């Protein structure tokens, strides 16, 4: 008896340690209304066949009801095949119509065929074949489909609908049609509640006044605002904006780009490159910084202009370029630098402002300000003005011993085929230049003062010089003119600063610039978390910037601060 008690105790202990599983929810498909009943063992062995009479056949299974004209029901396998005017309803929000359906009660998977229409809230999906997985609450198709909601009509070859989060995932030839825009993509996710798009692969959004391309991006279809990362581009009026990351907003007509950006003016054939830029479409303006460079075509030769900050404003035919702080420019036969550079398309005048210096061939020119003037008809470089404290220097190219120099209050020059050929110096002029005979033997050093001087140049050397009004000077043998008398007052040779290539316009800081890491290009983004955060920030204008693109858009605030300082500058 004691053994029996011990065995009973052990069995009770085992039962207590491993309690019986809860009985699983009933999975059998229930017949609510069978109407006409028949069997056909030859064609449908083991199946019950139901057909409608005055009302349709009806089934129920775990919260879903199905109506049809006829059904073949395999009760043992818990499966059915329904045909004719089928309606499947799940709860109050989901209903699906089709001509045929196969339903598996064990997996809760429905395969609907022929004129399938799925409705959920204010969304309608149409396709030829639809798989409805009630276990995962997902519906998917691979025979092309159309989704219509209150805002958009979407079509694709492959699609999947996640009912719980109300998200569509479209693949292959995705097309969205809206009265205000069109979207084409290889793949995108669409949230029916927020009307937000998340694009993957080559994608294009075409609006009334813009066209955007990206290979990874976001788009708010309600307000036509979004961002792109990875090979992004916006065609914005007469400008094309490209960059690693790009944000735009239709309402404010604003776009910004980050990292490896390029803004192309298609009307004026100019380009701005930088690592951060902003475009204000309504104001016809561009702001660029972080290794920014403006590239324009002058006489079939590219002109490169750099500054810590670049601004281009004005209508297409009246563009104004401003380069601020540590500005430089370069073209094949002309280069220079100043604190600021200002170019006005309407007048064809380029101004070098504050501590300017200009190099043409071997000629170095300095003054309080320097103006370059283009011929408005030919767009060729026409003339030069150096105002106040004008000084021109070129190294003696024959003897290599000294410097040819001329100075005066103002200098006026004339360019022929991009080369400075004629120079007029006025008021308190002084000259020192080395004179040679035909055998290139040094005759002497001319040192003269005068009221006005005209010089004719050839390949940077003084070919002819004319002293106008009361010249006073002489030609000194080299041995009779001391070294300290061979330089005019204020002489500073700055040959080591000369900009000899387009790369020289950038300083060490520009070349060592560390670019921000744009989230999403190399690492995947948790889209569900991003959409949840976006929905939480709905209505809060401060937090509307997409979380995944914070690095790319953050400089926008920095740029706004800079615009304030620039307006003070002006």
Per-residue pLDDT 10s for the chain (570 aa) are 444 333 333 333 333 344 444 444 558 999 999 889 999 988 999 999 999 998 999 999 998 999 999 999 999 999 999 999 999 999 888 899 999 999 999 999 999 999 999 998 788 999 999 999 999 999 999 989 999 988 889 999 999 999 888 888 999 899 999 988 999 999 999 888 888 889 988 999 998 888 999 989 899 988 888 899 888 999 887 889 999 999 989 888 898 999 999 999 888 888 999 999 999 888 889 999 999 999 987 767 788 999 999 999 988 888 899 999 999 999 888 899 999 999 998 898 999 999 999 998 888 999 999 999 988 887 788 899 999 999 999 888 787 778 999 999 999 999 887 788 899 999 989 999 888 888 888 889 999 999 899 988 877 677 788 888 788 888 899 888 888 889 999 999 999 999 999 999 998 888 888 888 877 655 545 667 677 776 676 654 334 433 334 333 333 333 333 333 333 333
Task: Give 27-177's CATH code, choosing from 2.40.50.140, 2.60.450.10, 3.50.30.50, 3.30.1360.70.
Answer: 2.60.450.10
Do 204 and 185 form a contact (C-beta atoms < 8 A)? yes
Residue 404, CB-side half-sphere exposure with 13 Å CA sphere = 23
Q: Which residues contact 442 (CB under 8 A, 6 or more apart)?
A: 398, 399, 434, 435, 436, 478
The reported pLDDT for the residue numbered 14 is 35
Q: Are 169 and 192 in contact (CB under 8 A)?
A: no
Which of 286, 331, 325 lies closest to 309 in space, CA to CA? 325
What is the rounded distance in angstroms from the CA atom of residue 561 to the CA atom of residue 567?
Answer: 10
Q: Would you give the end-to-end CA distance of the chain in angstroms? A: 107
Determine the pLDDT at residue 141: 94
Whole-number Å distance between alpha carbons of 57 and 47: 15
- pLDDT given at position 546: 39
Which residues neighbour 147 within 8 Å (Cβ) at sequence distance 6 or greater? 123, 124, 125, 126, 153, 154, 155, 159, 168, 190
Mode of pairing for the β-strands spanning 30-33 and 57-61: antiparallel
The b/e string for 508-528 (b: 16+ C-beta within 10 A; e otherwise) is eebeeeeebebbbbeeebebe
Query: Residue 506: its pLDDT value, please?
Result: 93
- pLDDT, residue 520, reads 62
Tokens representing 225 are 């605002």
For the chain, what is the radius of gyration of the CA atoms? 40
Cβ atoms of 416 and 299 within 8 Å: the answer is no
Distance CA 51, CA 34 (A): 7
Residues contacting 250, CB < 8 A, separation 6+: 207, 209, 210, 223, 224, 225
| pLDDT on residue 523 | 53
Encode 552-565: b = buried (16+ Cβ within 10 Å), e = exposed: bbebeeebeebbee
Residue-level pLDDT at 269: 85
What pLDDT score was predicted for residue 25?
A: 55
Q: Structural domain boundaries of the chain?
A: 27-177
Q: What is the pLDDT of residue 4?
A: 39
């Amino acid at each position: 008896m004691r053994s029996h008690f011990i065995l009973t105790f052990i069995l009770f202990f085992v039962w207590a340690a491993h309690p019986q599983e809860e009985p699983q929810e009933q999975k059998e498909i229930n017949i609510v209304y069978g109407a006409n009943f028949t069997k056909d063992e030859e064609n449908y062995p083991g199946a019950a066949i139901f057909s409608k009479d005055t009302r349709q056949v009806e089934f129920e299974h775990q919260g879903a009801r199905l109506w049809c004209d006829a059904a073949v029901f395999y009760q043992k396998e818990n499966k059915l095949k329904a045909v004719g005017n089928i309606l499947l309803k799940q709860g109050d929000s989901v209903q699906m119509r089709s001509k045929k359906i196969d339903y598996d009660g064990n997996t809760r998977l429905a395969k609907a065929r022929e004129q399938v229409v799925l409705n959920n809230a204010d969304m309608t999906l149409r396709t030829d074949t639809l798989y409805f997985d009630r276990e995962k609450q997902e519906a998917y198709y691979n025979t092309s489909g159309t989704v219509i909601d209150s805002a958009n009509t979407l079509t694709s070859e492959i699609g999947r609908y996640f009912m719980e989060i109300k998200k569509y995932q479209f693949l292959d030839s995705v097309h969205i049609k809206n009265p205000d825009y069109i979207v084409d993509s290889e793949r995108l996710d669409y949230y029916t509640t927020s009307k937000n798009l998340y694009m993957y692969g080559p994608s294009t959004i075409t609006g009334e006044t813009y066209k955007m391309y990206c290979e990874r991006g976001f788009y708010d279809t309600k307000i036509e605002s979004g961002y792109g990362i990875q090979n992004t581009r916006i065609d914005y009026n007469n400008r094309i904006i490209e960059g690693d990351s790009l944000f735009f907003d239709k309402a404010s007509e604003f776009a910004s780009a980050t990292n490896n950006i390029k803004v192309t003016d298609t009307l004026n054939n100019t380009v701005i490159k930088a690592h951060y830029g902003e475009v204000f479409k309504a104001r016809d303006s561009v702001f660029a910084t972080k290794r920014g460079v403006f590239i324009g075509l002058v006489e079939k030769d590219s002109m490169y202009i750099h500054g810590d900050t670049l601004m281009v404003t004005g209508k297409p035919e009246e563009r104004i370029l401003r380069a601020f702080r540590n500005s430089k420019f370069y073209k094949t036969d002309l280069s220079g630098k100043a604190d600021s550079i200002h170019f006005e398309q309407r007048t064809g005048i380029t101004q070098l402002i504050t501590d300017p210096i200009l190099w043409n061939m071997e000629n170095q020119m300095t003054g309080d300000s320097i103006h370059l003037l283009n011929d408005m008809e030919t767009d060729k470089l026409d003339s030069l003005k150096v105002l106040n404290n004008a000084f021109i220097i070129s190294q003696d190219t024959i003897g290599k011993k000294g410097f040819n120099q001329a100075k005066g209050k103002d200098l006026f020059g004339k360019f022929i085929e991009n080369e400075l050929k004629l120079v007029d110096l006025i008021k308190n002029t002084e000259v020192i230049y080395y004179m040679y005979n035909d055998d290139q033997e040094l005759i002497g050093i001319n040192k003269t003062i005068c009221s006005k001087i005209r010089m004719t140049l050839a390949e940077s050397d003084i070919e002819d010089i004319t002293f106008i009004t009361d010249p006073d000077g002489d030609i000194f043998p080299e041995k009779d003119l001391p070294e300290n008398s061979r330089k005019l007052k204020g002489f500073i040779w700055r040959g080591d600063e000369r900009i000899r290539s387009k790369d020289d316009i950038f300083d060490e800081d520009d070349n060592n610039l560390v670019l921000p890491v744009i989230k999403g290009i190399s690492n995947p983004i948790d889209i569900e978390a991003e959409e949840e955060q976006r929905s939480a920030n709905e209505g809060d204008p401060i937090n509307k910037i997409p979380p995944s693109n914070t690095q790319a858009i953050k400089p926008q605030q920095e740029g706004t601060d800079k615009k304030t300082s620039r307006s003070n500058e002006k």
